[in-house]
Structure 1
Amino acid sequence: MSTDRDASARDASAHDRAAAGSFRVGTSGWRYRSWRGDFYPTGLVQRAELTYLAERMPTVELNGSFYSLQRPQSYLRWRAAVPDDFVFAVKGSRYISHMLRLRDARAALANFFSSGLLALGPTLGPILWQLPERQRFEPDVLASFLDVLPRTTHEALALAREHDERMTGRTWLEDDVDRPLRYAIEPRSESFADPAARRLLDEHGVALTVADTAGRWPQFEPGTAAFVYVRLHGAAELYASGYTAEELALWAHRCRHWARTGGADERDVFVYFDNDARGYAPHDALALTRLLREAL
């Protein structure tokens, strides 16, 4: 890694985290071997990696929830490792998005919400549904799925109590303050360019994810949801290439534009770097944060 990128990790501070205002920039996941001895100092124990990251950026995307249902103890441990103002974006279960393909999802959603998400409390941020490329826009299917999504944590708790017997003994069925829930969908089929798809998402206040995927999948513009969700998987090589200074400046410009197009209030903009294979993600996240801070 270059000297400039090494310095970006060393120079990050709590001021960097707070100064971004309505912008929250982080990474997709945090546990990567290639980050050790680079973004993470040599000798940093693995259990301290999330805390180290959270001292330098204000958000991270939880990936494990996509592959399998996590346990409440894990969510509690993650929450305890970060500051109170930190935000976890949570990837929705691939069983729902890839196996059920959003159909008849109520029972699976009950299990998902009972698995411990609510234990994150105020650190629970947007919930992302990443769709497979084969998942085409089907108006009735998408509408039915969006209708069943709980809109607040109390609604999520009520749904979670419908969990099936497989979740017995591994649920979290508590919630203190009723908080709104926010959702983003990342489609990978060109069929979602249909204006009807955007209208449906806008009607439900669900963000259409802006994804940079080295040209592999379509890149959509965000809709009118109250926040913007961006995933940067790599401009030149999927999951692997770093972003140039010029590319980061362009993304900073776009983020500032999207924040200002939210009507009377500025929209929150969440950005997650998923170009983690060679360790670029955390350095690019810190560099973009600095660009956004400098524009304030």
Structure 2
Amino acid sequence: MSGRIRVGVGGWTFEPWRGAFYPEGLAQKRELEYASRAVTTIEINGTYYGSQKPESFRKWHDETPDDFLFSLKAPRFATNRKVLAEAGESIARFFASGVLELGDKLGPVNWQFMATKKFDPEDFEAFLKLLPKSVEGRAIRHVVEVRHPSFAVPDFVDLIRGHGVAAVVAGDADFPVIADPTAPFVYARIMGTRAEEAAGYAPSDLDAWAARARAWADGGAAEGFAPLSGGADGVARDVLLYVISGAKERNPAAAMALLERLG
């Protein structure tokens, strides 16, 4: 058995997508409806900057297909702090803000850290202990996006593995790549799209990312990423792969090209 592979983008409101990804004349209020039929997951970025309304989450749920999945960027107020152990109130407020209105479409929560945030094992473990495994009976999956080189060590991998938390696989970026399996899913954000490529990436690069996604789904290792602690374990996992940053105007085309390769 293999895990399910989903591919998507960050957000859905972006003016350069209009007339390129979105058809000319498509009403802005229908952009999520359109995007959710072209990709299989979307990472919501607005939740990083501030609280959204419960009715917004309910509306997003209702506008998307039954098997669609949203991931959420957790609020920066929880992660952009000197002492992570003090983030409990921000974390609780986030989960009380209406995110559960997404129902079965609620995917992993991405806790993104500043690139200047260094690995403090004791404080980071205290933060992990604050992340709820379930809220109101719904299981919650967590992924941490750490971007300082100090995290690229076996101790960090072992720590998050013990808590069942994934690390973002940062592809084609200047951030450390941590691709060890530590949770029941893999969460990748690839950031290397180029404006001169119609599909964002060269065909060979799209082939390589599709192959990595298949390897993760089968419980294997992704080519080109050396393990820090443990490596592949043969356990099938669901995969979420987001085309983020880079030449953002090309990201929907790259996501769709990857989905085509993945069948």
TM-score (norm 2): 0.88
2:24 pairs with 1:66: no
Q: Deviations over 1:140-198 (max 9, x none)?
A: 111111111110132xxxxxxxxxxxxxxxxxxxxxxx332111111110101121100
Tell me which residue corresponds to 1:141. Answer: 123
Task: Give the counterpart of 1:77 among 38, 54, 59.
Answer: 59
Q: CA deviation at 1:276?
A: 6.4
CA distance in 2, matches of 1:21, 1:147: 27
Bigger radius of gyration among the two: 1
Task: Give the counterpart of 1:247 among 202, 205, 227.
Answer: 205
Q: Which moved more, 1:103-112 or 1:269-278?
A: 269-278
**Aligned residue type for 1:140:** E
SS where residue 52 of structure 2 aligns?
Answer: coil
Distance 1:265 1:95, change over 3 A: same
**Aligned residue type for 1:248:** L
2:249 pairs with 1:279: yes
CA contact 1:209–1:222 (8 Å) conserved in 2: no
SS where residue 228 of structure 1 aligns?
Answer: strand
CA distance in 2, matches of 1:269, 1:100: 31
**Aligned residue type for 1:220:** I
CA contact 1:28–1:60 (8 Å) conserved in 2: yes
Q: Deviations over 1:20-44 (max 9, x none)?
A: 9600000011110000001000000
Q: CA deviation at 1:224?
A: 2.7
Q: CA deviation at 1:101?
A: 5.7
CA contact 1:233–1:275 (8 Å) conserved in 2: yes
Alignment of 1:1-296 (within 5 A): 22-99=4-81, 102-154=84-136, 178-214=137-173, 216-234=174-192, 242-261=200-219, 265-275=235-245, 277-293=247-263
Distance 1:266 1:223, change over 3 A: closer
**Aligned residue type for 1:249:** D
Structure with greater proportional helix content: 1
SS where residue 85 of structure 2 aligns?
Answer: coil
Q: CA deviation at 1:277?
A: 4.6
Q: Alignment identity in percent?
A: 40
CA contact 2:3–2:236 (8 Å) conserved in 1: no
Name the Cα RMSD after superposition: 2.0
**Aligned residue type for 2:260:** R
Tell me which residue corresponds to 2:226. Answer: none
**Aligned residue type for 1:269:** V
SS where residue 55 of structure 1 aligns?
Answer: helix
How many residue pairs get aligned? The number is 247
Q: CA deviation at 1:103?
A: 3.2
CA contact 1:34–1:277 (8 Å) conserved in 2: no
CA distance in 1, matches of 2:134, 2:74: 16
CA distance in 2, matches of 1:44, 1:100: 44
SS where residue 103 of structure 1 aligns?
Answer: helix
CA contact 2:79–2:87 (8 Å) conserved in 1: no
Distance 1:101 1:44, change over 3 A: farther
SS where residue 285 of structure 1 aligns?
Answer: helix
CA distance in 2, matches of 1:221, 1:190: 14
Q: Unaligned regions of 5+ residues in structure 1, if any?
A: 1-19, 155-177
